[in-house]
Every structure is written in structure tokens, then in C-alpha cells.
């Protein structure tokens, strides 16, 4: 983990209520895709956790670019959406365990729902670099909410689903899963989607969870959950948990 200031390079709307924020700063704290940052916003006490969507390799000063994608859901994210290029952001960077790529097999399946899609992007790129053949399924409620289809299609096979059928395949991500041949899965998204995947998935896999956080780095026990083996903190021992350890 690193703590410090990051400079906003861009902050643009890419779908309904969804923004892509690119910042520049110390990327040396990032060790795996699926980790997150915790952002201090002017006028708010607790930091806001947001997944790292993409990150570049550090230059000789340790500096690189980080892409974050967030949805405006409350006062904090609303204020963030007004941040302009040049603004300095106080961030803790490289929090959590991230996805374990060593288990992916040759044909990993990446399944994202809504604003659970972002962390899968860096994961997809890294898996690709390792010579794997990932398939990506991203699900949304409706056409206005769809984002990052083009970014993913540049590096892998991608299937888009919408619940109302206004774009891509009509239905849920689990409807699309049935026709894919995969060796392992990685997912991030809302709980109802997780429950459906848990019923559908044929292989082992990893889920990335959310919880309200006090600190984001393991100090307060605000985000604890029980697993089959021991108590874990979503922020430090997670956010990614393995299928086999999760208690539903």
C-alpha cells in the first residue's frame, strides 16, 4: 500500500451515472489486479473504496497511470464526478489481495455485473499477457448502462447481456455462461448475481466482495466476514475470496 497525492488527468462520463477517472501518481503499491484504492474526498470523513480498473507499469520514479470507474450513487461519488483535470486526490493505493491468477487454467471466464466490471479489465489484460484465452461476460440492466465493451473486445472475446434486452443478449450473465467452455472463473458484481453464478458455475473460481469500510487496510475490523476456515477482513484478506471458502 502507498499513501499520497494523485493528479486527475481526466474524469469523463462513459455511461449512465458512470464515470471513468484517470489519475497519475505512485503505482508501486499495486501488486495484483482486483486491488482497490481508498479516496479521500473534500468534505467527507471516510474514504471511498474504488476498484483499480487498469494501471500502467511504473516509470523510473514509480509513477504511472491508474484508471478507476465509478458510479454516482450518493453524495461522495457525486462530488467526485465534479473533479476536474489537475485536481489533487489524496489516495491510499494498492489495498486488498486482488485476484490470484495462478489458478486460472487456459480458458478463464471473467464475469462482471454493472460497476463490478472495472476490476476485470486489468485482470483480463494480465491473463492475456500470460498467454491465457479469457472470455468476458459483462451484464447490465439496460443499454444506457453498458460500458467498456470496446475496451474488452480489443483483447478478448466479450459477451454483453442486458436484463431488458435493449442491448446484446437478453437476460443475465448466467444465461450467457451456459455456452462458454471455461477452466476457472473470476467475478465481481452485486450479490444477486453472485448467488446465480454460485448455482450455475461448473468450476472453481474467485468472487470479489464489497463491504462498508472504516479504514480499508485492516485496522478497524469494520468489514469482517466469516468464511469456512476463519474470520476475514474484506479489505485486507479480501476483497477476493475463493469459491470454496465462502459461506452463502
Partner 1 sequence: MVNLKVDLCGITLDNPVIPASGTFGYGYEFAEYYDINILGSLSFKGTTLEPRFGNPTPRIAECPSGMLNAVGLQNPGVEEVISTELKKLSECFFKPVMANVSGFSVSDYAGTCERISGCKEVGWIEVNISCPNVHNGGMSFGTVPSSAAEVTRAVRRVTDKPIIMKLSPNVTDIAEIARACESEGADGISLINTLLGMRIDLKKGKPVLANKTGGYSGPSVLPVAIAMVYKVYEAVKIPVVGMGGISSAEDVLEFMYAGASAVEVGAANLIDPFACKKIIEDLPRVMEKYGINDLNNIIGGAH
Ligand X SMILES: Cc1cc2nc3c(=O)[nH]c(=O)nc-3n(C[C@H](O)[C@H](O)[C@H](O)COP(=O)(O)O)c2cc1C
Neighbouring-strand partners of residue 242: 206
Distance of alpha carbon 196 from alpha carbon 52, whole angstroms: 25
Among 75, 190, 221, 245, binds ligand FES (CB under 6 A): 221
- Under rule CB under 6 A, residue 71 binds ligand FAD: yes
Query: Given the rule CB under 6 A, which of 45-53, 103-111, 156-164, 191-199 is the region that contacts ligand FAD?
Result: 45-53
Classify 187 as helix, strand or coil.
Answer: strand
Q: 23 to 52, contacts with partner 1 by CB under 8 A?
A: 40, 44-47
Residue placing its CB nearer to ligand FAD in the complex, 39 or 127: 39
Backbone angles phi, psi at 219, to 5 degrees: -95, -25
Q: How far is the CB of 232 from ligand FES (least distance, A)?
A: 10
| H helices present in 81-229, as ranges | 118-129, 149-153, 173-177, 191-200
Give the binding site for ligand X (CB under 6 A): 214, 220, 222
Distance of alpha carbon 103 from alpha carbon 33, whole angstroms: 14
Residue 3's binding partner out of ligand FES, partner 1, ligand FAD, none, with CB under 5 to 8 Å set by partner kind = partner 1
Distance of alpha carbon 78 from alpha carbon 11, whole angstroms: 12
Among 23, 26, 55, 70, binds ligand FAD (CB under 6 A): 70
Query: Given the rule CB under 8 A, which of 63-71, 80-88, 141-149, 205-213 is the region that contacts partner 1?
Result: 205-213
Question: Of the candidates 213, 204, 203, 206, which has an alpha carbon nearest to the alpha carbon of residue 234?
Answer: 213
Number of residues that bind partner 1 (CB under 8 A): 25
Q: How far is the CB of 213 from ligand FES (least distance, A)?
A: 4
Q: How far is the CB of 92 from ligand FES (least distance, A)?
A: 11
Instruction: Cis check for the bond before 239: say yes or no (omega within 30 of 0).
Output: yes
Binding mask 89-118 for partner 1 (x = CB under 8 A): ---x--------------------------
Residue placing its CB nearer to partner 1 in the complex, 47 or 126: 47
Distance of alpha carbon 205 from alpha carbon 53, whole angstroms: 20
H or E, element range at 18: strand 18-26
**Is 148 within 8 Å of 155 (Cβ atoms)?**
no
Neighbouring-strand partners of residue 20: 12, 69
- Under rule CB under 8 A, residue 136 binds partner 1: no
Task: Report strand pairing: 108-113 vs 135-140.
Answer: parallel
For binding to ligand FES (CB under 6 A), which residues are involved? Answer: 213-216, 218-223, 233, 235-236
For binding to ligand FAD (CB under 6 A), which residues are involved? Answer: 36, 46, 48-51, 69-71, 73-77, 115, 118, 210-213, 239
Amino acid at each position: 500500500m502507498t499513501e499520497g497525492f494523485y493528479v486527475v488527468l481526466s474524469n469523463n462520463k462513459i455511461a449512465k451515472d458512470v464515470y471513468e477517472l484517470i489519475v497519475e501518481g505512485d503505482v508501486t503499491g499495486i501488486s495484483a489486479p482486483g486491488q482497490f484504492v481508498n479516496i479521500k474526498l473534500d468534505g467527507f470523513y471516510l474514504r471511498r473504496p474504488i476498484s483499480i480498473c487498469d494501471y500502467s507499469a511504473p516509470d523510473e520514479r514509480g509513477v504511472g497511470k491508474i484508471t478507476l470507474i465509478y458510479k454516482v450513487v450518493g453524495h461522495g461519488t457525486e462530488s467526485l464526478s465534479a473533479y476536474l483535470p489537475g485536481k489533487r486526490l489524496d489516495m491510499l493505493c494498492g489495498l486488498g489481495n486482488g485476484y490470484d491468477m495462478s489458478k486460472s487454467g487456459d480458458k478463464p471466464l471473467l464475469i462482471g455485473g454493472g460497476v463490478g466490471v472495472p476490476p476485470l479489465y486489468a485482470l483480463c489484460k494480465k491473463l492475456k499477457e500470460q498467454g491465457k484465452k479469457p472470455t468476458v461476460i459483462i451484464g447490465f440492466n439496460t443499454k444506457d448502462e453498458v460500458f467498456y465493451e470496446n475496451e474488452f473486445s480489443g483483447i478478448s472475446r466479450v459477451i454483453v447481456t442486458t436484463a431488458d434486452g435493449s442491448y446484446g443478449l437478453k437476460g443475465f450473465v448466467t444465461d450467457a455462461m451456459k455456452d462458454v467452455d471455461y477452466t476457472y472463473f473470476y467475478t465481481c458484481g452485486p450479490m444477486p448475481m453472485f448467488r446465480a453464478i454460485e448455482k450455475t458455475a461448473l468450476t472453481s473460481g474467485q468472487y470479489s466482495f464489497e463491504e462498508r469500510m472504516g479504514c480499508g487496510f485492516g485496522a478497524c475490523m469494520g468489514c469482517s466476514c466469516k468464511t469456512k476456515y476463519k474470520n476475514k477482513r474484506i479489505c485486507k484478506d479480501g476483497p477476493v475470496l475463493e469459491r470454496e471458502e465462502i459461506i452463502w
